[in-house]
């Protein structure tokens, strides 16, 4: 059923190609490696401002579609399927672009974090899918620590996308710190999900 929350979720997916196109047009991008540039005086002329804005908008609508679905009693099977798909697509695409942007030889830790986060998303998605087939999907519902991980992860990506100082804060350093924190939370929450899944395997 095409409800308002589902339309919002689909719009998030539709924005991904625009996000990717904007990313590759930002002035700091160089296929041969990372280069530093002096930020223009007017931040609204920076492509990375708009890239970050698109990602921030998509992240906000991630909360909005779920809120509206519950508030307006418009929850649906389609929405339950589309919402996590949109989330994982956006996070995976953003992390892959960041790995492409920051050279692995000097920023290998970003690559490692991206691999861990994306691998965990695939593993947990597969686990939930399998649990759903045996009627145990609620066993691996999103936990509180998973929500915290998502929150930290979003801001990590936003800072790494923006690249320029943000109200005096060094975006890269803040972004990397948050990304490392998100990776640790990813490992911990993934362990919790697997632990619950193993209980089902044993039974």
φ, ψ dihedrals at 166, nearest 5°:
-120, 105
pLDDT band (50, 70, 90) for residue 26: low
Percentage of the chain beyond pLDDT 70 is: 77
- Integer Cα distance of 56 and 109 in angstroms: 24
The CATH number given to whatever domain includes residue 150 is: 1.20.120.1760
Report the DSSP beta bridge partners of residue 169: 166
Look at residue 93 and give its three-state secondary structure: helix
- Integer Cα distance of 110 and 117 in angstroms: 11
pLDDT band (50, 70, 90) for residue 189: confident
3-state helix, strand, coil in the chain (%, to 5): 75, 0, 25
Q: Which domain holds residue 17?
A: 4-202
Position with higher pLDDT, 199 vs 81: 81
Global pTM reads 0.81
Q: What is the pLDDT of residue 142?
A: 60
Report the DSSP beta bridge partners of residue 166: 169
The total of structural domains in the chain comes to 1
């Amino acid at each position: 059923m095409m409800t308002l929350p589902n339309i919002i979720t689909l719009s998030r997916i539709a924005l991904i190609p625009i996000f990717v196109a904007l990313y590759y047009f930002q002035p700091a991008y160089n296929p041969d490696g990372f280069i530093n540039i002096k930020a223009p005086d007017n931040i609204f002329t920076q492509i990375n401002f708009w890239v970050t804005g698109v990602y921030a908008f998509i992240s906000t609508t991630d909360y909005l579609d779920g809120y509206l679905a519950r508030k307006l009693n418009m929850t649906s099977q389609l929405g339950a399927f589309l919402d996590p798909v949109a989330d994982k697509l956006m996070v995976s695409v953003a992390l892959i672009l960041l790995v492409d942007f920051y050279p692995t030889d000097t920023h290998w830790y970003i690559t490692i974090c991206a691999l861990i986060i994306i691998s965990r998303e695939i593993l947990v998605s597969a686990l939930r899918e399998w649990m759903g087939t045996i009627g145990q999907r609620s066993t691996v519902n999103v936990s509180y620590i998973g929500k915290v991980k998502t929150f930290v992860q979003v801001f990590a990506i936003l800072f790494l996308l923006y690249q320029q100082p943000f109200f005096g804060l060094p975006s890269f350093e803040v972004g990397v710190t948050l990304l490392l924190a998100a990776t640790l939370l990813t490992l911990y929450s993934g362990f919790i999900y697997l632990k619950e899944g193993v209980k089902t395997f044993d039974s």
